[in-house]
């Protein structure tokens, strides 16, 4: 498979789409990112790497980080985690309060904001320093000791994160946050502000293509069953309330973020990451989704 030729073709074909999306301007630090950026990277399970465009440019991964904190939470609590978080698509915006009220404070899945706040709470409970623990975990996945937080983005999210604060207080009122609300929010906005590039993400997601083992270290991070189920959750819940359309068009488990990144997995084959800041109505990268659709079409490889 000539992955480099395919990526070069995709870059040319999706460039017109970069001007059609809208950056996440409700977070001021993200609003300043140029919308015309596009990068894409593929890392195979054999360790081959291919990239195009702005694949080496760092960006705020936002909700993609929820895959990492889910992995950590499962390490800490195993299946007991599912007493506090559901596993169903929400069908509502990622920051909706509505379901949380009539479902008694149990978030519908770990990838909506309420669910990710519970994950942050779990990490806080089990580590002395949640922010440092998440950072160490991610650095080990992508072999980048300089991976870090964008503190400007973290401050911006906290200053403009009234909806997330409301979700956290709501969860606390139902007894589904065990730590101080401000501490949970601080951990959460920092994980969302993680700065990585497409090359980093394609490498960091490799354990989900390797049955739960980090190929860089040989360390088992998840059981094969947990890995299968995490990939299933990404397929059904990983792109907000556009999971059906994404599965139809792309056919891969994936996780998006409002910074314009999407990371996706073909178990046993490769991981692919794409970044283009302009978002569609559901909060997913418009050009990025198009690029992933072209990638699975041109390679003829998807989970279906």
CATH number of the domain at 7, please. 3.40.710.10
Element (H, E) at 151: helix 151-159
Question: Are 31 and 41 found together in one domain?
Answer: yes
Distance CA 166, CA 292 (A): 34
Has residue 73 got a pLDDT over 90? yes
Distance CA 106, CA 167 (A): 11
Q: Find the domain containing 49 and state its range.
A: 3-62+195-299
- On whether the CB atoms of residues 117 and 189 are closer than 8 A, the answer is no
Choosing from 192, 222, 251, the residue where a domain stops is: 192
Choosing from 148, 174, 192, the residue where a domain stops is: 192
Has residue 131 got a pLDDT over 90? yes
Q: For 85-112, what is each residue's pLDDT tens digit?
A: 999 998 766 666 778 888 889 999 999 9
User: Counting Cβ atoms within 10 Å, is residue 271 exposed (0-12), middle (13-18) or buried (19+)?
Assistant: buried
Question: Are 217 and 256 found together in one domain?
Answer: yes
Question: Are 203 and 54 found together in one domain?
Answer: yes
Question: Are 90 and 173 found together in one domain?
Answer: yes
* Pair of tokens at residue 114: 């309420």
Q: For 141-156, what is each residue's pLDDT tens digit?
A: 999 888 899 999 999 9
Question: Are 94 and 185 found together in one domain?
Answer: yes
Question: Are 72 and 147 found together in one domain?
Answer: yes
Distance CA 74, CA 82 (A): 9
Stated pTM of the model: 0.96
Q: Which residues are catalytic?
A: 63, 66, 188, 240, 258
Q: How many CB atoms sit inside 10 A of residue 179's CB?
A: 17
Question: Are 108 and 158 found together in one domain?
Answer: yes
Q: For 182-219, what is each residue's pLDDT tens digit?
A: 999 999 999 999 999 999 999 999 999 999 999 999 99
Q: For 276-300, what is each residue's pLDDT tens digit?
A: 999 999 999 999 999 999 999 999 9
Q: How many CB atoms sit inside 10 A of residue 149's CB?
A: 18
Query: Per the domain annotation, does 304 fall within a domain?
Result: no
Question: Are 152 and 260 found together in one domain?
Answer: no
Choosing from 192, 226, 260, the residue where a domain stops is: 192
Rounded-to-5 percentages of helix, strand, coil across the chain: 50, 10, 35
Distance CA 277, CA 20 (A): 10
- On whether the CB atoms of residues 177 and 184 are closer than 8 A, the answer is yes
Question: Are 76 and 182 found together in one domain?
Answer: yes
What is the number of structural domains in the chain? 2
Question: Are 186 and 101 found together in one domain?
Answer: yes
Element (H, E) at 162: helix 162-173
């Amino acid at each position: 498979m000539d992955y480099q030729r395919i990526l070069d073709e995709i870059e040319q074909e999706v460039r017109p789409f970069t001007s059609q999306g809208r950056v996440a301007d409700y977070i001021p630090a993200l609003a300043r990112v140029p919308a015309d950026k596009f990068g894409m990277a593929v890392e195979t399970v054999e360790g081959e790497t291919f990239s195009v465009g702005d694949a080496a440019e760092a960006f705020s991964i936002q909700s993609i980080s929820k895959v990492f904190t889910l992995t950590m939470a499962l390490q800490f609590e195993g299946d007991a985690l599912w007493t506090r978080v559901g596993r169903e698509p929400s069908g509502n915006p990622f920051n909706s309060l509505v379901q949380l009220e009539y479902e008694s404070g149990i978030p519908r899945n770990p990838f909506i904001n309420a669910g990710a706040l519970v994950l942050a709470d779990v990490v806080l409970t089990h580590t002395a320093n949640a922010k440092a623990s998440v950072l160490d975990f991610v650095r080990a996945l992508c072999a980048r000791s300089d991976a870090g937080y964008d503190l400007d983005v973290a401050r911006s999210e906290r200053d403009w994160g009234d909806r997330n604060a409301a979700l956290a207080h709501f969860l606390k009122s139902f007894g589904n946050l065990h730590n101080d609300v401000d501490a949970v929010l601080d951990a959460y906005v920092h994980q969302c502000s993680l700065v990585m590039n497409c090359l980093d993400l394609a490498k960091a997601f490799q354990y989900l293509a390797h049955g739960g083992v980090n190929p860089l270290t040989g360390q088992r991070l998840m059981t094969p069953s947990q890995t299968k189920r995490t990939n299933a959750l990404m397929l059904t819940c990983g792109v907000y309330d556009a999971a059906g359309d994404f599965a139809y068009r792309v056919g891969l488990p994936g996780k998006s973020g409002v910074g314009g990144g999407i990371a996706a997995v073909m178990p046993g084959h490769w991981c692919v990451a794409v970044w283009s800041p302009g978002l569609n109505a559901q909060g997913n990268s418009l050009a990025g989704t198009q690029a992933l659709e072209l990638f699975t079409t041109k390679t003829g490889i998807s989970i279906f």
